[in-house]
A and B are shown apart, each in its own frame.
Chain A
Protein backbone atom coordinates (compact mmCIF):
# COMPACT_ATOMS: atom_id res chain seq x y z
CA UNK A 1 0.00 0.00 0.00
CA UNK A 2 1.64 3.27 -1.09
CA UNK A 3 1.45 6.56 0.78
CA UNK A 4 -1.38 7.85 -1.34
CA UNK A 5 -3.44 4.72 -0.67
CA UNK A 6 -2.60 4.94 3.04
CA UNK A 7 -3.79 8.54 3.13
CA UNK A 8 -6.96 7.59 1.29
CA UNK A 9 -7.64 4.82 3.78
CA UNK A 10 -7.16 7.19 6.71
CA UNK A 11 -9.42 9.72 5.09
CA UNK A 12 -12.15 7.21 4.39
CA UNK A 13 -12.00 5.93 7.96
CA UNK A 14 -13.77 9.17 8.86
CA UNK A 15 -16.76 8.24 6.76
CA UNK A 16 -18.67 5.97 9.17
CA UNK A 17 -20.57 7.74 11.91
CA UNK A 18 -18.60 5.51 14.29
CA UNK A 19 -16.26 2.55 13.80
CA UNK A 20 -18.53 0.41 15.96
CA UNK A 21 -22.24 -0.02 15.89
CA UNK A 22 -23.92 2.35 18.38
CA UNK A 23 -24.81 0.50 21.57
CA UNK A 24 -28.52 1.31 21.41
CA UNK A 25 -28.73 0.07 17.81
CA UNK A 26 -26.80 -3.09 18.69
CA UNK A 27 -29.21 -3.79 21.55
CA UNK A 28 -32.23 -3.24 19.33
CA UNK A 29 -30.82 -5.55 16.68
CA UNK A 30 -29.90 -8.15 19.30
CA UNK A 31 -33.35 -8.05 20.89
CA UNK A 32 -34.91 -8.47 17.50
CA UNK A 33 -32.57 -11.34 16.62
CA UNK A 34 -33.15 -13.11 19.94
CA UNK A 35 -36.89 -12.71 19.49
CA UNK A 36 -36.67 -14.17 16.01
CA UNK A 37 -34.53 -16.99 17.36
CA UNK A 38 -37.24 -17.84 19.86
CA UNK A 39 -39.85 -18.23 17.20
CA UNK A 40 -40.09 -21.63 15.72
CA UNK A 41 -39.13 -22.30 12.13
CA UNK A 42 -42.81 -22.91 11.46
CA UNK A 43 -43.90 -19.55 12.75
CA UNK A 44 -41.38 -17.87 10.47
CA UNK A 45 -42.37 -19.93 7.47
CA UNK A 46 -46.16 -19.93 7.24
CA UNK A 47 -46.04 -21.34 3.74
CA UNK A 48 -43.97 -24.28 4.93
CA UNK A 49 -46.45 -24.79 7.76
CA UNK A 50 -49.30 -24.80 5.26
CA UNK A 51 -47.53 -27.34 3.09
CA UNK A 52 -46.62 -29.49 6.07
CA UNK A 53 -50.21 -29.39 7.34
CA UNK A 54 -51.50 -30.30 3.91
CA UNK A 55 -48.96 -33.11 3.72
CA UNK A 56 -49.95 -34.47 7.11
CA UNK A 57 -53.63 -34.28 6.20
CA UNK A 58 -52.95 -36.14 2.95
CA UNK A 59 -50.95 -38.74 4.86
CA UNK A 60 -53.76 -39.18 7.38
CA UNK A 61 -56.36 -39.57 4.64
CA UNK A 62 -54.12 -42.02 2.75
CA UNK A 63 -53.47 -44.01 5.92
CA UNK A 64 -57.18 -44.12 6.68
CA UNK A 65 -58.00 -45.52 3.26
CA UNK A 66 -55.07 -47.96 3.25
CA UNK A 67 -55.69 -49.30 6.75
CA UNK A 68 -57.39 -52.68 6.91
CA UNK A 69 -60.74 -52.03 8.50
CA UNK A 70 -64.05 -53.63 9.17
CA UNK A 71 -66.60 -53.59 6.43
CA UNK A 72 -68.90 -50.66 7.03
CA UNK A 73 -71.85 -52.83 6.02
CA UNK A 74 -72.02 -56.25 7.63
CA UNK A 75 -73.89 -59.18 6.17
CA UNK A 76 -75.31 -62.38 7.62
CA UNK A 77 -73.04 -64.49 5.42
CA UNK A 78 -70.04 -63.00 7.27
CA UNK A 79 -71.40 -64.51 10.49
CA UNK A 80 -72.01 -67.94 8.99
CA UNK A 81 -68.53 -67.96 7.46
CA UNK A 82 -66.90 -66.89 10.74
CA UNK A 83 -68.74 -69.57 12.72
CA UNK A 84 -67.49 -72.24 10.32
CA UNK A 85 -63.91 -71.43 11.38
CA UNK A 86 -64.43 -71.86 15.13
CA UNK A 87 -61.93 -74.22 16.78
CA UNK A 88 -62.67 -73.51 20.44
CA UNK A 89 -65.78 -72.16 22.03
CA UNK A 90 -67.26 -71.62 25.46
CA UNK A 91 -71.01 -71.35 25.83
CA UNK A 92 -72.99 -70.35 28.88
CA UNK A 93 -76.53 -71.49 28.09
CA UNK A 94 -79.53 -70.45 30.16
CA UNK A 95 -82.72 -72.27 29.37
CA UNK A 96 -86.16 -71.39 30.64
CA UNK A 97 -89.60 -72.74 29.93
CA UNK A 98 -88.49 -76.33 29.82
CA UNK A 99 -90.65 -78.77 31.75
CA UNK A 100 -87.93 -79.14 34.36
CA UNK A 101 -87.75 -75.38 34.91
CA UNK A 102 -84.81 -73.03 34.38
CA UNK A 103 -81.56 -74.76 33.62
CA UNK A 104 -78.03 -73.61 33.08
CA UNK A 105 -75.48 -75.51 31.05
CA UNK A 106 -71.89 -74.53 30.43
CA UNK A 107 -69.94 -76.15 27.63
CA UNK A 108 -66.40 -75.45 26.57
CA UNK A 109 -64.19 -77.24 24.08
CA UNK A 110 -60.59 -76.42 23.33
CA UNK A 111 -58.03 -78.62 21.55
CA UNK A 112 -58.44 -82.05 23.23
CA UNK A 113 -59.99 -80.64 26.42
CA UNK A 114 -63.65 -80.24 27.13
CA UNK A 115 -66.04 -79.63 29.99
CA UNK A 116 -69.78 -80.00 30.22
CA UNK A 117 -71.35 -78.57 33.35
CA UNK A 118 -75.08 -79.16 33.77
CA UNK A 119 -75.97 -76.61 36.42
CA UNK A 120 -73.42 -78.17 38.77
CA UNK A 121 -75.55 -81.31 39.07
CA UNK A 122 -73.26 -83.31 36.86
CA UNK A 123 -69.95 -82.29 35.36
CA UNK A 124 -67.87 -84.12 32.83
CA UNK A 125 -64.32 -82.91 32.38
CA UNK A 126 -61.58 -84.31 30.19
CA UNK A 127 -58.13 -82.81 30.51
CA UNK A 128 -56.50 -84.71 27.68
CA UNK A 129 -55.58 -87.75 29.81
CA UNK A 130 -58.21 -88.38 32.48
CA UNK A 131 -61.95 -88.29 32.28
CA UNK A 132 -63.49 -86.88 35.44
CA UNK A 133 -67.19 -87.25 36.16
CA UNK A 134 -68.81 -85.44 39.04
CA UNK A 135 -72.16 -86.52 40.47
CA UNK A 136 -73.67 -83.92 42.81
CA UNK A 137 -76.16 -86.40 44.35
CA UNK A 138 -73.33 -88.61 45.54
CA UNK A 139 -70.91 -85.66 45.82
CA UNK A 140 -68.43 -87.93 44.16
CA UNK A 141 -65.81 -87.47 41.49
CA UNK A 142 -64.97 -90.48 39.41
CA UNK A 143 -61.57 -90.21 37.82
CA UNK A 144 -61.04 -92.59 34.98
CA UNK A 145 -57.56 -93.18 33.66
CA UNK A 146 -58.29 -94.13 30.13
CA UNK A 147 -56.47 -96.39 27.74
CA UNK A 148 -54.32 -94.64 25.17
CA UNK A 149 -56.83 -95.63 22.47
CA UNK A 150 -59.53 -93.82 24.39
CA UNK A 151 -57.51 -90.62 24.87
CA UNK A 152 -56.92 -90.45 21.16
CA UNK A 153 -60.63 -90.86 20.72
CA UNK A 154 -61.54 -88.16 23.23
CA UNK A 155 -61.23 -85.16 20.89
CA UNK A 156 -63.85 -86.82 18.73
CA UNK A 157 -65.90 -87.49 21.80
CA UNK A 158 -65.65 -83.85 22.78
CA UNK A 159 -66.89 -82.76 19.42
CA UNK A 160 -69.68 -85.33 19.57
CA UNK A 161 -70.75 -84.16 23.01
CA UNK A 162 -70.64 -80.55 22.00
CA UNK A 163 -72.30 -81.64 18.79
CA UNK A 164 -75.52 -81.82 20.79
CA UNK A 165 -75.12 -78.05 21.07
CA UNK A 166 -73.30 -77.52 17.79
CA UNK A 167 -73.17 -73.81 17.20
CA UNK A 168 -72.42 -74.17 13.51
CA UNK A 169 -75.44 -76.39 13.11
CA UNK A 170 -77.64 -74.08 15.18
CA UNK A 171 -76.64 -71.06 13.10
CA UNK A 172 -77.37 -72.95 9.91
CA UNK A 173 -80.72 -74.08 11.34
CA UNK A 174 -81.61 -70.54 12.32
CA UNK A 175 -80.95 -69.33 8.81
CA UNK A 176 -83.13 -72.12 7.47
CA UNK A 177 -85.91 -71.53 10.00
CA UNK A 178 -86.17 -67.75 9.67
CA UNK A 179 -85.17 -67.41 6.04
CA UNK A 180 -82.65 -64.92 4.69
CA UNK A 181 -85.39 -62.41 3.93
CA UNK A 182 -86.26 -62.22 7.60
CA UNK A 183 -82.74 -61.76 8.87
CA UNK A 184 -81.95 -58.11 9.45
CA UNK A 185 -78.39 -56.95 10.07
CA UNK A 186 -78.20 -53.71 12.04
CA UNK A 187 -75.47 -51.01 11.85
CA UNK A 188 -72.33 -51.25 13.96
CA UNK A 189 -72.59 -49.78 17.45
CA UNK A 190 -70.36 -49.48 20.47
CA UNK A 191 -70.87 -51.84 23.40
CA UNK A 192 -68.51 -52.09 26.37
CA UNK A 193 -65.78 -50.40 24.38
CA UNK A 194 -65.93 -52.63 21.34
CA UNK A 195 -67.72 -52.53 18.02
CA UNK A 196 -70.67 -54.87 17.72
CA UNK A 197 -73.68 -55.22 15.51
CA UNK A 198 -77.02 -56.89 16.02
CA UNK A 199 -78.86 -59.41 13.92
CA UNK A 200 -82.60 -59.66 14.29
CA UNK A 201 -84.53 -62.69 13.06
CA UNK A 202 -88.26 -62.96 12.92
CA UNK A 203 -90.12 -66.14 12.08
CA UNK A 204 -92.32 -65.41 9.05
CA UNK A 205 -95.23 -67.62 10.10
CA UNK A 206 -94.83 -67.85 13.84
CA UNK A 207 -93.94 -66.07 17.07
CA UNK A 208 -90.30 -67.27 17.08
CA UNK A 209 -87.63 -64.64 17.08
CA UNK A 210 -83.94 -64.43 17.76
CA UNK A 211 -81.64 -61.60 18.60
CA UNK A 212 -77.90 -62.00 18.12
CA UNK A 213 -75.10 -59.62 19.10
CA UNK A 214 -72.07 -60.07 16.86
CA UNK A 215 -68.51 -58.93 17.53
CA UNK A 216 -67.75 -56.67 14.55
CA UNK A 217 -64.03 -57.53 14.68
CA UNK A 218 -64.54 -61.30 14.34
CA UNK A 219 -68.13 -61.58 13.05
CA UNK A 220 -68.75 -64.20 15.75
CA UNK A 221 -71.88 -64.14 17.91
CA UNK A 222 -71.18 -63.18 21.52
CA UNK A 223 -74.77 -63.18 22.74
CA UNK A 224 -77.85 -65.02 21.50
CA UNK A 225 -81.36 -64.53 22.82
CA UNK A 226 -83.94 -66.80 21.17
CA UNK A 227 -87.60 -67.26 21.93
CA UNK A 228 -89.55 -70.32 20.96
CA UNK A 229 -93.15 -70.86 19.93
CA UNK A 230 -94.44 -70.43 23.46
CA UNK A 231 -93.88 -67.27 25.42
CA UNK A 232 -92.15 -69.08 28.30
CA UNK A 233 -89.62 -70.85 26.12
CA UNK A 234 -86.41 -68.94 25.91
CA UNK A 235 -82.70 -69.61 25.56
CA UNK A 236 -79.96 -67.10 26.26
CA UNK A 237 -76.39 -67.96 25.31
CA UNK A 238 -73.23 -66.03 26.02
CA UNK A 239 -70.23 -67.12 23.99
CA UNK A 240 -66.45 -66.83 24.10
CA UNK A 241 -63.91 -68.00 21.57
CA UNK A 242 -60.29 -69.01 21.25
CA UNK A 243 -58.09 -67.27 23.85
CA UNK A 244 -61.11 -66.28 25.92
CA UNK A 245 -62.20 -69.89 26.43
CA UNK A 246 -61.73 -71.08 30.04
CA UNK A 247 -61.87 -74.80 30.83
CA UNK A 248 -61.49 -75.38 34.56
CA UNK A 249 -63.80 -77.62 36.63
CA UNK A 250 -64.97 -76.22 39.95
CA UNK A 251 -65.55 -79.42 41.89
CA UNK A 252 -66.54 -79.13 45.59
CA UNK A 253 -63.50 -79.48 47.81
CA UNK A 254 -65.22 -82.08 50.01
CA UNK A 255 -66.24 -84.31 47.10
CA UNK A 256 -65.27 -87.96 47.38
CA UNK A 257 -62.82 -89.08 44.76
CA UNK A 258 -63.05 -92.50 43.20
CA UNK A 259 -60.21 -93.43 40.90
CA UNK A 260 -60.45 -96.14 38.33
CA UNK A 261 -57.53 -97.23 36.22
CA UNK A 262 -58.95 -98.38 32.91
CA UNK A 263 -55.68 -97.97 31.07
CA UNK A 264 -55.16 -101.72 30.80
CA UNK A 265 -58.64 -102.55 29.55
CA UNK A 266 -58.51 -104.14 26.17
CA UNK A 267 -61.21 -104.23 23.56
CA UNK A 268 -63.80 -101.78 22.30
CA UNK A 269 -64.15 -98.56 24.23
CA UNK A 270 -67.62 -96.94 24.36
CA UNK A 271 -68.12 -94.81 21.30
CA UNK A 272 -69.08 -91.17 21.31
CA UNK A 273 -72.77 -91.73 20.69
CA UNK A 274 -72.96 -93.77 23.87
CA UNK A 275 -71.53 -90.86 25.81
CA UNK A 276 -73.81 -88.47 24.04
CA UNK A 277 -76.83 -90.28 25.47
CA UNK A 278 -75.80 -88.92 28.86
CA UNK A 279 -76.62 -85.44 27.61
CA UNK A 280 -79.74 -86.11 25.65
CA UNK A 281 -81.87 -84.09 28.07
CA UNK A 282 -79.68 -81.04 27.67
CA UNK A 283 -79.65 -81.37 23.93
CA UNK A 284 -83.41 -81.55 23.74
CA UNK A 285 -83.81 -78.51 25.97
CA UNK A 286 -81.40 -76.59 23.83
CA UNK A 287 -83.18 -77.58 20.68
CA UNK A 288 -86.48 -76.47 22.18
CA UNK A 289 -85.06 -73.07 22.80
CA UNK A 290 -84.74 -72.50 19.08
CA UNK A 291 -87.82 -74.31 17.86
Chain B
Protein backbone atom coordinates (compact mmCIF):
# COMPACT_ATOMS: atom_id res chain seq x y z
CA UNK B 1 0.00 0.00 0.00
CA UNK B 2 1.17 3.47 -0.77
CA UNK B 3 1.36 5.06 2.65
CA UNK B 4 1.80 8.51 1.17
CA UNK B 5 -1.54 8.22 -0.54
CA UNK B 6 -3.35 4.96 0.28
CA UNK B 7 -6.50 5.96 -1.56
CA UNK B 8 -4.72 7.11 -4.70
CA UNK B 9 -6.36 5.88 -7.84
CA UNK B 10 -9.58 5.02 -6.08
CA UNK B 11 -12.96 6.66 -6.17
CA UNK B 12 -12.06 8.18 -2.81
CA UNK B 13 -9.18 10.03 -4.36
CA UNK B 14 -11.44 11.56 -6.97
CA UNK B 15 -13.20 13.72 -4.40
CA UNK B 16 -11.45 16.61 -2.74
CA UNK B 17 -11.78 18.02 0.73
CA UNK B 18 -13.26 21.47 0.71
CA UNK B 19 -11.64 22.94 3.83
CA UNK B 20 -7.96 23.05 4.69
CA UNK B 21 -7.31 20.62 7.53
CA UNK B 22 -4.78 21.61 10.15
CA UNK B 23 -2.84 19.04 12.21
CA UNK B 24 -4.63 19.84 15.46
CA UNK B 25 -8.04 19.73 13.76
CA UNK B 26 -7.11 16.36 12.36
CA UNK B 27 -6.33 14.99 15.84
CA UNK B 28 -9.56 16.41 17.30
CA UNK B 29 -11.74 15.15 14.45
CA UNK B 30 -10.29 11.75 13.73
CA UNK B 31 -8.49 10.86 16.96
CA UNK B 32 -11.28 8.60 18.24
CA UNK B 33 -11.62 6.75 14.93
CA UNK B 34 -7.93 5.96 14.76
CA UNK B 35 -7.87 4.99 18.40
CA UNK B 36 -10.85 2.61 18.09
CA UNK B 37 -9.26 0.79 15.18
CA UNK B 38 -5.78 0.63 16.66
CA UNK B 39 -6.87 -0.43 20.11
CA UNK B 40 -9.21 -3.04 18.61
CA UNK B 41 -6.29 -4.61 16.83
CA UNK B 42 -3.61 -4.29 19.48
CA UNK B 43 -4.23 -5.81 22.89
CA UNK B 44 -1.49 -3.87 24.64
CA UNK B 45 -2.43 -0.30 25.51
CA UNK B 46 1.20 0.78 25.13
CA UNK B 47 1.33 -0.59 21.61
CA UNK B 48 -1.95 1.03 20.71
CA UNK B 49 -0.81 4.41 22.02
CA UNK B 50 2.53 4.14 20.25
CA UNK B 51 0.90 3.22 16.96
CA UNK B 52 -1.75 5.96 17.29
CA UNK B 53 1.01 8.53 17.89
CA UNK B 54 2.92 7.08 14.98
CA UNK B 55 -0.13 7.47 12.72
CA UNK B 56 -0.61 11.09 13.71
CA UNK B 57 3.11 11.72 13.31
CA UNK B 58 2.98 10.40 9.74
CA UNK B 59 -0.16 12.43 9.09
CA UNK B 60 1.43 15.63 10.40
CA UNK B 61 4.44 15.14 8.15
CA UNK B 62 2.16 14.38 5.20
CA UNK B 63 -0.36 17.17 5.77
CA UNK B 64 0.14 18.37 2.19
CA UNK B 65 -1.06 14.93 1.01
CA UNK B 66 -3.78 14.62 3.62
CA UNK B 67 -5.21 18.01 2.64
CA UNK B 68 -5.68 16.82 -0.92
CA UNK B 69 -7.47 13.53 -0.31
CA UNK B 70 -11.24 13.52 -0.20
CA UNK B 71 -11.55 11.57 3.04
CA UNK B 72 -8.88 12.13 5.67
CA UNK B 73 -10.69 9.57 7.82
CA UNK B 74 -10.13 6.75 5.31
CA UNK B 75 -6.57 7.91 4.71
CA UNK B 76 -5.80 7.82 8.43
CA UNK B 77 -7.42 4.41 8.89
CA UNK B 78 -5.44 3.04 5.96
CA UNK B 79 -2.23 4.33 7.52
CA UNK B 80 -3.29 2.97 10.90
CA UNK B 81 -3.93 -0.47 9.40
CA UNK B 82 -0.45 -0.54 7.87
CA UNK B 83 1.22 0.59 11.10
CA UNK B 84 -0.74 -1.98 13.16
CA UNK B 85 0.38 -4.76 10.80
CA UNK B 86 3.98 -3.59 11.18
CA UNK B 87 3.63 -3.53 14.96
CA UNK B 88 2.14 -7.03 15.09
CA UNK B 89 4.87 -8.33 12.81
CA UNK B 90 7.60 -6.89 15.05
CA UNK B 91 5.92 -8.23 18.16
CA UNK B 92 5.60 -11.67 16.61
CA UNK B 93 9.33 -11.64 15.76
CA UNK B 94 10.18 -10.75 19.36
CA UNK B 95 7.72 -13.45 20.60
CA UNK B 96 6.16 -10.98 22.98
CA UNK B 97 2.96 -11.82 24.75
CA UNK B 98 0.34 -9.23 25.60
CA UNK B 99 0.53 -7.86 29.08
CA UNK B 100 -2.53 -7.11 31.11
CA UNK B 101 -4.24 -4.16 29.58
CA UNK B 102 -4.59 -1.11 31.79
CA UNK B 103 -8.14 -0.67 30.64
CA UNK B 104 -8.96 -4.23 31.55
CA UNK B 105 -7.40 -3.77 34.92
CA UNK B 106 -9.54 -0.69 35.45
CA UNK B 107 -12.73 -2.47 34.30
CA UNK B 108 -12.31 -6.18 35.11
CA UNK B 109 -15.92 -7.01 34.22
CA UNK B 110 -15.16 -6.15 30.57
CA UNK B 111 -11.91 -8.01 30.54
CA UNK B 112 -13.48 -11.39 30.14
CA UNK B 113 -15.75 -10.36 27.25
CA UNK B 114 -12.98 -8.48 25.48
CA UNK B 115 -10.62 -11.38 25.90
CA UNK B 116 -13.19 -13.77 24.52
CA UNK B 117 -13.92 -11.57 21.50
CA UNK B 118 -10.21 -11.28 20.80
CA UNK B 119 -9.89 -15.05 20.91
CA UNK B 120 -12.74 -15.37 18.44
CA UNK B 121 -11.32 -12.68 16.16
CA UNK B 122 -7.90 -14.28 16.31
CA UNK B 123 -9.35 -17.26 14.45
CA UNK B 124 -10.26 -15.07 11.47
CA UNK B 125 -7.91 -14.23 8.63
CA UNK B 126 -6.40 -10.71 8.82
CA UNK B 127 -8.55 -9.28 6.02
CA UNK B 128 -11.80 -10.55 7.59
CA UNK B 129 -10.78 -9.26 11.01
CA UNK B 130 -9.98 -5.81 9.60
CA UNK B 131 -13.21 -5.77 7.60
CA UNK B 132 -15.27 -6.51 10.70
CA UNK B 133 -13.54 -3.88 12.83
CA UNK B 134 -13.81 -1.20 10.14
CA UNK B 135 -17.45 -2.07 9.50
CA UNK B 136 -18.76 -2.54 13.06
CA UNK B 137 -16.30 -0.69 15.30
CA UNK B 138 -15.52 2.26 13.05
CA UNK B 139 -18.94 2.21 11.41
CA UNK B 140 -17.75 2.52 7.81
CA UNK B 141 -19.88 1.70 4.79
CA UNK B 142 -18.94 -1.45 2.87
CA UNK B 143 -17.65 0.70 -0.02
CA UNK B 144 -15.38 2.60 2.37
CA UNK B 145 -14.07 -0.63 3.89
CA UNK B 146 -13.35 -1.80 0.35
CA UNK B 147 -11.24 1.24 -0.37
CA UNK B 148 -9.08 0.72 2.72
CA UNK B 149 -8.65 -2.99 2.00
CA UNK B 150 -7.95 -2.16 -1.69
CA UNK B 151 -10.67 -4.59 -2.78
CA UNK B 152 -13.81 -4.20 -4.84
CA UNK B 153 -17.06 -3.55 -2.92
CA UNK B 154 -18.37 -6.94 -4.06
CA UNK B 155 -15.27 -8.76 -2.83
CA UNK B 156 -15.46 -6.86 0.44
CA UNK B 157 -19.12 -7.76 0.85
CA UNK B 158 -18.25 -11.43 0.37
CA UNK B 159 -15.41 -11.04 2.85
CA UNK B 160 -17.76 -9.57 5.44
CA UNK B 161 -20.34 -12.32 4.86
CA UNK B 162 -17.73 -15.01 5.37
CA UNK B 163 -16.41 -13.22 8.47
CA UNK B 164 -19.92 -12.97 9.94
CA UNK B 165 -20.61 -16.62 9.16
CA UNK B 166 -17.37 -17.74 10.79
CA UNK B 167 -18.12 -15.65 13.85
CA UNK B 168 -21.62 -17.16 13.98
CA UNK B 169 -20.16 -20.68 13.89
CA UNK B 170 -17.39 -20.15 16.41
CA UNK B 171 -19.12 -17.56 18.57
CA UNK B 172 -21.99 -19.77 19.64
CA UNK B 173 -24.14 -18.26 22.33
CA UNK B 174 -21.98 -15.14 22.54
CA UNK B 175 -23.20 -14.12 19.10
CA UNK B 176 -26.68 -15.55 19.34
CA UNK B 177 -27.26 -14.08 22.79
Residue ranges of A at the interface with B (Cβ–Cβ < 8 Å): 3-5, 7-9, 11-22, 25-26, 28-30, 32-34, 36-37, 41, 44
Cβ contact within 8 Å between B175 and A8: yes
Across the interface, B114 reaches (CB within 8 A) one of A5, A15, A28, A37, namely: A15
| Given A26-B31, A36-B61, A15 and B40 contact (CB-CB distance below 8 Å) | yes
Measured in the bound complex, the distance between the Cα atoms of B24 and A36 in whole Å is: 9
Measured in the bound complex, the distance between the Cα atoms of B118 and A32 in whole Å is: 31
Q: Which of A17, A32, A33 has the most CB of B within 10 A?
A: A17
Is B97 interfacial (CB-CB < 8 Å)?
no
Is B174 interfacial (CB-CB < 8 Å)?
yes
Cβ contact within 8 Å between B167 and A34: no
Beyond known contacts A15-B121, A15-B137: 14 more, CB 8 A cutoff: A8-B167, A8-B175, A11-B117, A12-B132, A15-B39, A17-B48, A19-B36, A22-B35, A29-B56, A32-B23, A32-B60, A33-B22, A34-B23, A34-B24
Cβ contact within 8 Å between A21 and B35: yes
Cβ contact within 8 Å between B164 and A5: yes
Across the interface, A33 reaches (CB within 8 A) one of B23, B36, B167, namely: B23
Q: Tell me which residues across on chain A come within 8 A of B14, comparing CB atoms.
A: none
Measured in the bound complex, the distance between the Cα atoms of B49 and A28 in whole Å is: 10
- Report the nearest B residue to A15, measured CB to CB: B40
Measured in the bound complex, the distance between the Cα atoms of B102 and A17 in whole Å is: 9
Q: Which of A25, A26, A34 has the most CB of B within 10 A?
A: A25
Across the interface, B35 reaches (CB within 8 A) one of A11, A18, A32, namely: A18
Is B136 interfacial (CB-CB < 8 Å)?
yes
Measured in the bound complex, the distance between the Cα atoms of B101 and A222 in whole Å is: 90
Measured in the bound complex, the distance between the Cα atoms of B60 and A13 in whole Å is: 28
Give residues of chain B (127-143) contacting chain A, Cβ–Cβ below 8 Å: 132-133, 136-137
| Given A12-B117, A14-B113, A16-B137, A33 and B26 contact (CB-CB distance below 8 Å) | yes
Cβ contact within 8 Å between A44 and B136: no
Cβ contact within 8 Å between A14 and B110: yes
Is B148 interfacial (CB-CB < 8 Å)?
no
Least Cβ distance of B164 to chain A in Å? 6
Across the interface, A15 reaches (CB within 8 A) one of B56, B57, B118, B176, namely: B118
Is B145 interfacial (CB-CB < 8 Å)?
no
| Given A25-B52, A33-B24, A16 and B136 contact (CB-CB distance below 8 Å) | no
Least Cβ distance of A161 to chain B in Å? 75
Cβ contact within 8 Å between B177 and A17: no
Is B27 interfacial (CB-CB < 8 Å)?
yes
Q: Classify chain B's interface size.
A: 35 or more
Q: Tell me which residues across on chain B come within 8 A of A9, comparing CB atoms.
A: 136
Least Cβ distance of B16 to chain A in Å? 20
Cβ contact within 8 Å between B36 and A29: no
- Report the nearest B residue to A3, measured CB to CB: B177
Measured in the bound complex, the distance between the Cα atoms of B66 and A44 in whole Å is: 15
Q: Tell me which residues across on chain A come within 8 A of B61, comparing CB atoms.
A: 36, 44
- Report the nearest A residue to B163, measured CB to CB: A8
Is B1 interfacial (CB-CB < 8 Å)?
no
| Given A11-B175, A21-B31, A32 and B53 contact (CB-CB distance below 8 Å) | yes
Cβ contact within 8 Å between A13 and B136: yes
Cβ contact within 8 Å between B24 and A20: no
Cβ contact within 8 Å between A15 and B133: yes
| Given A14-B110, A16-B40, A25-B49, A33 and B27 contact (CB-CB distance below 8 Å) | yes
Cβ contact within 8 Å between B133 and A37: no
Cβ contact within 8 Å between B176 and A37: no
Q: Tell me which residues across on chain A come within 8 A of B22, comparing CB atoms.
A: 33, 37
